[in-house]
Structure 1
Amino acid sequence: MMEKILKKVFRYDHFRAGQQPIIEAVLAGQDTVAILPTGGGKSVCYQLPSYLQPDGLTLILSPLLSLIEDQVMQIKSRGERAVAKLTSLETREQKEHILHHLDRLRYLYLSPEQLAVPQIKRRLAEVKINLFVVDEAHCISQWGHEFRTDYAKLGHVRQQLGNPPCLALTATATHQVEQDIIEGLALRQPTRIRHSVNRPEIQLIVKQTEQADKDLVLEEQLKMVERPCVIYTTTRKEAERIAKLVTNAVYYHAGLEAEDRQLIQQQFLHDEIDCLVCTSAFGMGVNKANVRTVIHYTMPATIEAYMQEIGRAGRDGQPSTAILLYAPGDQRLQQFLVEKQYAPSLWIDQVAQGRVQNESFEIIERRFGLNADDPAYRLLKTQLMDGKTRAEIIDWQENRKKIRLRELMQMINYIQNTLCRRSFILNHFGEDPIIQDRCCDNCGTLTLVGPTSHVEQDQLNWRRRLEEVFFSSHHSV
């Protein structure tokens, strides 16, 4: 029966490796952790079971608006209409309409932050949830501790919703991250399905250079690789600067208006743009099968993040390339960002003292000029609300900093490693080394085919296209 639905609904002839056992575990009502490589077809693993279950909702938690929009669009494109999303883009009236008609839905997508909204949580507690899906589940470990604390609360929220069976999906997870996922979601004797993180179609290259020469090296590398291409940067400012340097490139980050982001993403997906320069978080939303090259202009903070990001390439299984540019001192930006994730001692003293004096957080924020939206302050506020003392917060922060800096050192070790890069990564994830063609620059088995492009030179630029879409006097057809 599963094969019939796979063919009829999803138009696939065969399951990919790992999909069938995951679906079988879900249908058996088992909590499941599934680690499949990027491009391994994770969405089928939670979308297909809904056609074999009685009436009920599949609830999908996803970290980014771009990921949610892409998934909803793909589901609707196959003719399924019983899908909705709750995001920052929906109006209050739209959200109320969706919540009032949950019984008509097969799938509901939302972020952990939306799930934390009391009205949404109360309404979901009133309906039958067949499956509680956490996509990109590594974020529980990567972000849940500090950056987006609602990830750390998903296990408790799941209990409030009646403990529906849970499916946690990710492309990369060490055994420690896997354990973080299990504990964070309070999974009960979960089925664990793990496939190799190796992406044999992606060759791995590190180019070490001086900071002053990095733009020139980027330019030279772009002459040697195929497009479509994704270039990762750490900051929005850097993304905008590089996009101006690269022919046919646009930048894509959280500072853009939602309409701009949607249009850029659609143009990239439809080969109207062949180079996207983006920050790491927004790169997660790039679900494009034929990306041939991923370039890191700035180094990621962890090997896990690196594998997630290079996984944007070669999702169609065709030969692809990942290039990381490194200049001495690049790690200092990541070290600075680690420090920025935690409240300084002065904040801890000010806020903790104010709470002892029974002052509200709002009064404390006004008195000391604290930004309520600052992630480091939000984390501090959450910890104080959870009853942690000043000493406990400082001890926890110091321990987390040590972990983050140790992860950063592992990334530097990868860059400076002189042996097989693929084996280094596989060893990091507890896997045995392999030997393959088109491996890495250290193995010397690279293949670079030249700057093939899929974009016609007379394509409209994205901002002019935006003006046409939203402000043209012509009727849409």
Structure 2
Amino acid sequence: MATSIPDNALETILTKFAIPNLKTGQKKILECLIDGRDCMAVLPTGYGKSLPFQMFIPLKRQIDHHFDEKLLVCSPLVSLMQDQVEKLTNIDDITAAYKGASAVSDQRIRDGEIDIIYASPEALIGDPEWRSAIQKLNISSIVVDEFHTIATWGEDTDDSGKKAFRKWFSYIGELRSLFPDANILALSATCTLNIRKRVKKVLNLKADTVEISVSPNKPNIKFVISKVHTCIEIAMCWLVDGLNTKQKAFPRTIIYCRTIKDTACLFQYITTEIPECVEFVDMYHSLTPSVQKDKIMEGLRSPTGTLRLVIATSALGMGIDIVSFYSVVVFGLSDTLVDLLQEIGRVGRDGKPSAALLLYNSYHLRSVGKEVKEITMCTGCRREAIMSSFLNPEDMEKLKETTRVHACCDACATHCACGVCTSLPIEDMFHSIDGCEDANDSADSDVTVDYQCISDFDDSFDIDL
């Protein structure tokens, strides 16, 4: 049975964080942390899954004035750590820092002056010096944020021979042996049923682990899947035409590309065709200067900013707070359904109607996973096809009862008989120029990618680090 959190202590912390109340899943996570129990929570983007562990230490101090333990957060991305640490700097009675921010903050972590310590798997597991320093601290709880990356970025276990993107993700389970008395909280926004099973083993989660799950399905986001021409000028001409026409009125949109090459080529194409719109467009990837990244992040958080279009790789990633964006284009699809759902979930975080255009050509299909390929061949409801890997049979039945309307996906829209079908501006722009979609077979048969700027980059830019 979970420990009952004193109402007066919780109210004090809610006020400190300027939060009126906690959602059911958030409160369950907080109770697990107070009880020292292992917990695996899969909560959709925008749910606020980080809030419970951020509140834990100040809440524990309200309950026990002598509490002086630390919380360790294993996080996959520097941008995610920066974002959370920045927000926590405004909260009284708590200190937070991430490894590598500066020599001063690193030393403060070693000296035990930091309450919430953020670090990557490379630092926690792969850096012997840092690993040794962390072990000397009184860490009572470990958070593994975005735990699905253990499976998607670590080494494969299916004998496919695929090289790990970041091998230390496969060894995060060693944190349990480094801190045997600490409880583990594993968090993710999108995770297939198979990945959950694998991660439980990797993290050595206990038999009485509390599992909290909320469906990743976001019914406010409509799915539109289409094959496009291999020539970028043809595939994305609708975008250039729409931006040129609407300019400041262009719907705030994120375009995700598979590689830095594709990101740079699309950015160059748009800014060359309509240089007068440069102020409305920006590009974000792992090689983008820090100052420029900060500027873009500021634009993403501001509901009144002039930024209308961000072309990005997965570096614009997990846990980022994006405000008033209701359109996302995934150009080239993602390697896995987990990655795809992560990118789609960046928009419509406030529940308002949104659209996700998933565009691909034959070249893109060469390297995506089997599940993603199957989505492109699906002739039925796109949402049901995508969610089948994430939901149990009971939840799938509930989902089927609410789909098959025009706001569900492009396939359902063709059969909708509501009489009041509507579409978002990004959809209307995409369908406005016939030549921009449904690439003909002859164009794709030779898989020739006519990206004029590809030669400007060497092969090291095929992935985003």
Length-normalised TM-score, structure 2: 0.75
Q: 2 CA distance for matches of 1:67 and 1:126?
A: 25
Q: Which deviates further from its counterpart, 245-254 or 141-150?
A: 245-254
Quick one: which amino acid aligns to residue 219 of structure 2?
A: P
Q: 2 CA distance for matches of 1:28 and 1:3?
A: 15
* Residue from 27, 30, 49 that aligns with 2:56: 49
Tell me what 2:444 maps to. Answer: none
Tell me what 1:124 maps to. Answer: 134
Q: 2 CA distance for matches of 1:203 and 1:175?
A: 23
Quick one: which amino acid aligns to residue 420 of structure 1?
A: C
SS in 1 for 2:410: coil
**8 Å contact from structure 1 (residues 232, 294) kept in 2:** yes
Shift of 1:132: 0.2
Tell me what 1:200 maps to. Answer: 219
SS in 2 for 1:277: strand
SS in 1 for 2:223: strand
Tell me what 1:7 maps to. Answer: 14
* Residue from 187, 194, 207 that aligns with 1:169: 187
Q: 1 CA distance for matches of 2:382 and 2:118?
A: 37
- Cα pair distance change 1:218/1:272, threshold 3 Å: closer
Q: 2 CA distance for matches of 1:42 and 1:33?
A: 11
**8 Å contact from structure 1 (residues 226, 449) kept in 2:** no
Q: 2 CA distance for matches of 1:242 and 1:182?
A: 40
Shift of 1:154: 1.5
- Cα pair distance change 1:51/1:80, threshold 3 Å: closer
Q: Deviations over 1:165-224 (max 9, x none)?
A: 000000111121001211111111211111111011211111222223212244467679
Tell me what 1:105 maps to. Answer: 114
Q: 2 CA distance for matches of 1:220 and 1:440?
A: 24
Length-normalised TM-score, structure 1: 0.73
Tell me what 1:317 maps to. Answer: 351
- Cα pair distance change 1:154/1:52, threshold 3 Å: same
Pairing 1:215–2:236 present: yes
Tell me what 1:39 maps to. Answer: 46
Tell me what 2:287 maps to. Answer: 255
- Cα pair distance change 1:226/1:3, threshold 3 Å: farther
Pairing 1:72–2:114 present: no
Q: 1 CA distance for matches of 2:151 and 2:81?
A: 20
Q: 2 CA distance for matches of 1:129 and 1:136?
A: 20
Q: 2 CA distance for matches of 1:78 and 1:274?
A: 31
Unaligned ranges ≥5, structure 1 = 336-407, 453-477
Pairing 1:227–2:280 present: no
- Cα pair distance change 1:302/1:218, threshold 3 Å: farther
State the Cα RMSD in Å: 2.4
**8 Å contact from structure 1 (residues 204, 421) kept in 2:** yes
Tell me what 1:443 maps to. Answer: 412
Quick one: which amino acid aligns to residue 77 of structure 1?
A: N
Q: Deviations over 1:372-427 (max 9, x none)?
A: xxxxxxxxxxxxxxxxxxxxxxxxxxxxxxxxxxxx12112112212111111222
SS in 2 for 1:77: coil
**8 Å contact from structure 1 (residues 232, 283) kept in 2:** no
**8 Å contact from structure 1 (residues 38, 311) kept in 2:** yes
* Residue from 339, 357, 372 that aligns with 1:411: 372
Q: 1 CA distance for matches of 2:32 and 2:410?
A: 40
Q: 2 CA distance for matches of 1:3 and 1:275?
A: 40
Tell me what 2:158 maps to. Answer: none
**8 Å contact from structure 2 (residues 26, 48) kept in 1:** yes
* Residue from 27, 43, 50 that aligns with 1:20: 27
- Cα pair distance change 1:443/1:281, threshold 3 Å: same
Tell me what 1:90 maps to. Answer: 102
Shift of 1:17: 4.0
| Count of aligned residue pairs for this structure pair | 375
SS in 2 for 1:330: helix
SS in 2 for 1:283: coil
**8 Å contact from structure 1 (residues 7, 13) kept in 2:** yes
Q: Which deviates further from its counterpart, 114-123 or 298-307?
A: 114-123
Quick one: which amino acid aligns to residue 39 of structure 1?
A: G
- Cα pair distance change 1:285/1:113, threshold 3 Å: same
